[in-house]
Amino acid sequence: MAHSVNLSVADPRIPRFQGGDETVLGELYDEHADHVFSLALRILGDRSEAEDVLQETWIQAWAKRSEYRPEQASFAGWITMLARSRALDRVRRRSARVKKEAEVGLEEPTRSSPPLAEWGLLADKLRAEVASLEPQQRTALELAYWGGLSHSKISEEMGQPLGTVKTWVRSGILRLRDRVVKERTS
């Protein structure tokens, strides 16, 4: 449980945040802003757009705070989901632009510092798990997560049957999930 700090349901700041106490925002922002920005930058590849997503994500998090369900995601998991969805919306609006999805994969980072230090050890395990996926399955996952592509679109891009793609994405994520759960409970 040593890596579970940021994934805790019992973060005492969350009820205050949800109750409309903006004084906890500074701390939550400081803990998660780099993560949100990094994610947006990776999806969008543009600092100025990533900064817009950073701002939109926090404003949206505040506006939707009563909808946040701690039983369905840690705060980090929730804000990641909001940021990803905002960033992907922008990608989809760049209809004319060449897709960047295929270029931004889950490749081994050149630097080894994960965005959230508390997750360091867990991240190492997860990185190893990602690296152990079959290349095609990894690509399907990359397109689904970073590219936000539907299964049918991935199937088209990769020239693989829809059913195969569905299985790759689903079993890939479940495998990563199992690894996370295992590491967190060990």
Determine phi and psi for 11, rounding to 5 degrees.
-60, 115
- Does the footprint of another protein cover residue 62 (CB under 8 A)? yes
Q: For residue 52, which of 66, 67, 37 has the smallest C-alpha distance?
A: 37
Taking the least distance from each CB to another protein, the nearer of 54 and 101 is: 54
CA dihedral sign of residues 67, 27, 127, 80: positive
45 binds another protein (CB under 8 A): no
One residue of 14, 44, 54, 91 binding another protein per CB under 8 A: 54
Stretch that binds another protein, among 45-53, 94-102, 132-140, 155-163 (CB under 8 A): 45-53
Cα separation of 143 and 54, whole Å? 22
The verdict on 14 binding another protein (CB under 8 A) reads no
Q: Is 176 in the site for another protein (CB under 8 A)?
A: yes
Query: Nearest approach, Cβ of 186 to another protein (angstroms)?
Result: 15
Cα separation, 26 vs 92, in Å, equals: 31
Q: Is 150 in the site for another protein (CB under 8 A)?
A: yes
**List 45, 106, 157, 158, residue binding another protein (CB under 8 A):** 106
71 binds another protein (CB under 8 A): yes
Q: Can you tell me the distance from the alpha carbon of 104 to that of 45, in angstroms, rounded to the nearest whole number?
A: 9
Q: Name which of 93 and 97 has its Cβ closer to another protein.
A: 93
Closer of 136 and 181 to another protein (Cβ): 181
The string over 74-104, giving b where at least 16 C-beta atoms fall within 10 Å of a residue's C-beta and e elsewhere, is bbbebbbebbbebbbebbeeeeeeeebbeeb
- Binding window for another protein (CB under 8 A); candidates: 95-103, 107-115, 132-140, 155-163: 107-115
> Least CB distance from residue 39 to another protein, whole Å?
5
**Three-state SS at 14:** helix
